[in-house]
Chain A
Amino acid sequence: MEYLETFRSYVLEKAEKWGIDQETLFKIELVLEELLTNVIRYAYVDGGSGDVEVECSFQRDNRFYLSIQDWGKPFDPLQREDPDLTKGVNEREIGGLGIHLVRQMADQVSYNREENSNKVHLCFQISTVCT
């Protein structure tokens, strides 16, 4: 969990340098935390530790791309069922919110299982670029 901050500052520093607005920065940060904590908690439960790779880029089409790759057990966030958001406090389950937030916050999410790795690609459409 202590590596979370390293990834967070790496991605956010880049995104800020590219002039991405505060609201999109918040969304990027949230998506990154949700997916990384998922990898940290679940991907390597059997083996203990493993690698995770984060890449980001900003393209001329005003889109910010983020990808997160791990070599842990298969996990497709798109297959995960949404939590029931209509339940009351007592009935509401504790888990499942993170992936729901990822799908809501990113404009596009795709998943590939390739050569023993999970790779999640995300895209954020940027409305305003501050220069």
Chain B
Amino acid sequence: MQVTFNKEGNALVVAVKGRLDALTAPDFESQCSSHIEQGHVLLVADLTELEYISSAGLRSILQISKKLKQEHGQINFCCLSGIIQHVFSISGFDSMFSFHDSVAQALLQYER
């Protein structure tokens, strides 16, 4: 799993590549947490290159979003492949977050 952070205006784009599973999710969570602690509270998760996610990955996303809520921040998602979208949806995550087709569209949410 590789995570790349890119500042775009007032938001932080978090691009995740590879797998978010029981082995990698704790590292993903701690990398995001340290950025949140530095004051980045508007996040866009770019999941174009995410190949696999399990409940451990979903749990880390939930923890991150709980942390963001406390800081009056937010996370939204873009570019999910079909099967990843399916996992999000059967976990009830589609009603908790907003999903977009591109990073640009996801960023628009924060410009309003």
Contacts and interface: CB of A to CB of B under 8 A. Distances in A.
B83 to A, nearest CB: 5
B27 interface: no
A88 B62 contact: no
Interface of A is mostly: helix
A104 B90 CA distance: 8
Interface string A20-52: 000100100110011001000000000000000
A78 interface: no
A97 B91 contact: yes
Contacts, number: 60
A98 interface: yes
Interface string A104-127: 100000000000000000000000
Bin the interface of chain B by size.
20 to 34
5 contacts: A37-B56, A86-B92, A89-B66, A92-B96, A101-B90
Interface of A: 1, 4-5, 23, 26, 29-30, 33-34, 37, 83, 85-90, 92, 94-95, 97-98, 100-101, 104
Given A90-B69, A101-B54, A104-B90, 15 more contacts: A1-B22, A23-B83, A37-B22, A83-B92, A85-B95, A86-B92, A89-B65, A89-B69, A97-B59, A98-B54, A98-B55, A100-B55, A101-B55, A101-B90, A101-B91
A100 B59 CA distance: 13
Contacts of A98: 54-56
A4 B54 CA distance: 13
B15 interface: no
